């Protein structure tokens, strides 16, 4: 029984959180499983991670058995699904499968990042089947909010698993095929052991509106506008970009694109034909020649990113492009939690300048790319899995989908979290192991744990600053002059106006002098006494304890 093959699923990211998706599928006996990774995504840091550029899943577990890792399959080119690839690939070094758009996005990112690895990518398309180790994989077309999203039907000797990736049932997408109902139904007929399913909108009733309807909404907004119209959206949503371009053309306006990430996506999409038949985009140098009523600005920065185009427009600090009173700014996007303040700041700046702001609560100008409850129910009816594992969600979304699956008659809804190893077959589904998981940080050119990159100290520094003290003792263990003391990030004076550096310096001198001379031979003892005294003095005067570094020399 110990050597019997098992099929397991083990997420290292993306379950219990939205972002940083990385799923492992394993096949074989417990001591010798072959693995594939599905998706390799990132999360973006918040204010609690000062200086950190990206948050990546910790892949320690799979790095320790690399000879058994057979490949990485990417479902689509959203950052939460492929954003960690360039950073983690050097540790994993296995072949990668992507669609043409994903491969194009990866290559364009690689070119822009000095030292990024050349990842060996095998191209696949929806409808195709390929083999990775013991896994026979079929890509099934779905609709989402980026070109070429797919679900994966993963066949093994122990059963067929459907990994949905991100999807919705859009009856009228701007680009690409519909979700392939016939294939999903056929998979259901074949018999599906388990479905790992997108939970993002499992709390929302009904169906999501289509991208075409959003295009219509944008058209009405543009038509009603008097001056210039600036529209910001997620740059990877090529269908939305296309809809904006078509709407602009119908309203007699030309589209000027600003923002590097938007330009990058447009280049990749143009090469693959996704923008065929629409008038060419103009660059910001041409903006000045266009009458106000004949322009649509398509720009990055929908999440309030301070260095993106929209923030610069709001601060009126672009050389070639500006907005004025009477113009309109449209947020064809949603607010990703954590970005509320930054976005509000931009809106306030625009409103102060009498620029009209339109957001997704004012008109149908944005829609999510994830399935609501009616769409989930329809997918359950097509696929009819034995086991349903909710993924791609926080606890509330996962629980809501598990309950919906139960109500819909799916025999075994199972909830897991990152690091749980779930055996899907043989036998009843069961969590058979816990594996190491977590987050690592990309911090400049270094990737490492919170400890390794020093984030914890950086947080403390930002809260209470740093004090360096240099104490020099002569050969009789007496202070040879006053210590040097430098404080960074501390207030200059306490509430009564006493200079903080003076107070701390007095404390340092007092600490040395209070140690009997014979005991000052122990320089570590001196150093620790001074450190404590300086911290205590700062705390008494200020109410906070800075980081204190003391050097004692003789």
Which residues contact Zn ion (rule: CB under 5 A)?
A: 78, 80, 166
Q: Concatenated DSSP letters for 64-88?
A: TTGGGEEEEE-S---HHHHTTHHHH
442 touches 472 (CB < 8 A): no
Q: What is the DSSP letter of 393?
A: B
Of 320, 302, 300, 317, the C-alpha closest to 259 is 300
Nearer Cβ to Zn ion (78/183): 78
Nearer Cβ to Zn ion (204/423): 204
Q: Give me the least distance between CB of 18 and Zn ion, in Å please.
A: 7
SS3 291: coil
Nearer Cβ to Zn ion (201/300): 201
Q: Give me the least distance between CB of 235 and Zn ion, in Å please.
A: 13
Nearer Cβ to Zn ion (400/512): 400
Nearer Cβ to Zn ion (54/467): 54
Nearer Cβ to Zn ion (339/554): 339
Q: Give me the least distance between CB of 17 and Zn ion, in Å please.
A: 11
Nearer Cβ to Zn ion (17/80): 80
Q: Give me the least distance between CB of 65 and Zn ion, in Å please.
A: 27
Q: Give me the least distance between CB of 392 and Zn ion, in Å please.
A: 6
Of 249, 303, 302, the C-alpha closest to 275 is 249
Nearer Cβ to Zn ion (346/416): 416
Q: Give me the least distance between CB of 387 and Zn ion, in Å please.
A: 21
Nearer Cβ to Zn ion (368/449): 368
- Calculate helix-pair angle for 238-250, 260-271, nearest 10 degrees: 90
Q: Give me the least distance between CB of 166 and Zn ion, in Å please.
A: 3
Q: What does the block give as tokens for 446?
A: 């270094």
Determine if residue 449 is left, alpha or beta; phi over 0 gives left, psi from -120 to 50 gives alpha, anything else beta: beta
Sheet holding 229-232, edge to edge: 254-258, 295-299, 229-232, 328-331, 356-358
Nearer Cβ to Zn ion (166/174): 166
Q: Give me the least distance between CB of 76 and Zn ion, in Å please.
A: 6
Nearer Cβ to Zn ion (78/366): 78
- How many CB atoms are located within 10 Å of the residue 286 CB? 13
133 touches 27 (CB < 8 A): yes
How far is it, in rounded angstroms, from Cα 243 to Cα 175? 9
Of 281, 288, 293, the C-alpha closest to 245 is 281
Helix ranges (H only) for 113-203 are: 181-190
Q: What stretches of 212-320 adopt beta strand conformation (E)? A: 229-232, 254-258, 295-299
Q: Concatenated DSSP letters for 177-196?
A: PPP-HHHHHHHHHH--SEEE
Q: Give me the least distance between CB of 82 and Zn ion, in Å please.
A: 10
Q: Within the chain, what is the greatest distance between any pair of CA atoms? A: 91
Q: Give me the least distance between CB of 432 and Zn ion, in Å please.
A: 27
How far is it, in rounded angstroms, from Cα 511 to Cα 508? 5
Q: Give me the least distance between CB of 43 and Zn ion, in Å please.
A: 11
Of 384, 386, 407, 388, the C-alpha closest to 398 is 388
């Amino acid at each position: 029984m110990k050597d019997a093959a098992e099929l397991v699923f083990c997420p290292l990211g993306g379950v219990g959180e939205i972002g940083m998706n990385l799923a492992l599928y394993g096949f074989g006996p417990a001591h010798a499983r072959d693995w594939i990774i599905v998706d390799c995504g990132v999360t973006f840091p918040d204010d609690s991670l000062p200086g950190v550029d990206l948050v990546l899943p910790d892949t320690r577990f799979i790095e320790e058995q690399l000879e058994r890792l057979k490949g990485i399959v990417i479902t689509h080119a959203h950052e939460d699904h492929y954003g960690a690839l360039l950073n983690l690939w050097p540790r994993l070094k296995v072949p990668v499968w992507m669609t043409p758009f994903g491969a194009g996005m990866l290559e364009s990112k690689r070119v822009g990042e000095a030292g990024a690895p050349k990842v060996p990518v095998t191209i696949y398309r929806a409808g195709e089947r390929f083999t990775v180790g013991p896994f026979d994989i079929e890509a099934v077309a779905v609709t989402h909010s980026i070109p070429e999203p797919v679900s994966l039907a993963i066949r093994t000797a122990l059963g067929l698993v459907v990994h949905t990736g991100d999807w919705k049932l859009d009856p009228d997408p701007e680009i690409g095929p519909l979700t392939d109902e016939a294939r999903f139904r056929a998979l259901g007929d074949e018999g599906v052991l388990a479905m790992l399913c997108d939970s993002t909108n499992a709390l929302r009733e009904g169906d999501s509106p289509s991208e075409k309807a959003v295009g219509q909404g944008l058209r009405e907004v543009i038509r009603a506008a008097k001056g210039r119209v600036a529209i910001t959206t997620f740059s990877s949503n090529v269908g939305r970009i296309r809809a904006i371009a078509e709407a602009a053309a119908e309203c007699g306006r030309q589209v000027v694109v600003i923002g590097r990430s938007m330009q990058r996506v447009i280049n990749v999409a143009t090469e693959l034909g996704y923008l065929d038949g629409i008038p060419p985009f103009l660059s910001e140098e041409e903006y000045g020649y266009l009458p106000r009523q004949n322009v649509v600005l398509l720009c990055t920065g929908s999440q309030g990113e301070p260095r993106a185009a929209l923030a610069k427009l709001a601060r009126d600090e672009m050389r070639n492009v500006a907005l004025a009173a009477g113009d309109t700014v449209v947020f064809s996007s949603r607010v990703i939690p954590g970005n509320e303040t930054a976005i509000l700041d931009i809106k306030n700046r625009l409103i102060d300048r009498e620029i009209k702001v339109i957001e997704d609560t004012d008109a149908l100008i944005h829609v999510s790319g994830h399935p609501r409850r009616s769409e989930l129910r329809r997918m359950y009816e097509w696929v009819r899995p034995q086991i349903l594992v909710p993924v791609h969600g926080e606890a509330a979304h996962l629980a809501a989908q598990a309950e919906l699956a139960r109500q819909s008659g799916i025999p075994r809804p199972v909830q897991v979290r990152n690091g749980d190893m779930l055996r899907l077959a043989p036998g009843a589904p069961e969590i058979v192991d816990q594996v190491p998981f977590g987050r690592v940080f990309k911090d400049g050119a270094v990737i490492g744990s919170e400890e390794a990159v020093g984030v914890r100290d950086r947080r403390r520094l930002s809260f209470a600053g740093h004090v360096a003290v240099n104490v020099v003792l002569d050969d009789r263990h007496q202070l040879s002059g006053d210590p040097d003391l430098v404080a960074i990030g501390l207030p200059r004076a306490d509430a009564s106006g006493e200079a903080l550096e003076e107070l701390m310096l007095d404390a340092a001198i007092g600490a040395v002098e209070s140690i009997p001379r014979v005991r000052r031979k122990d320089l570590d003892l001196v150093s620790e006494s001074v450190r404590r005294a300086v911290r205590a003095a700062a705390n008494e005067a200020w109410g906070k304890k800075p980081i204190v570094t003391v050097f004692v020399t003789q």
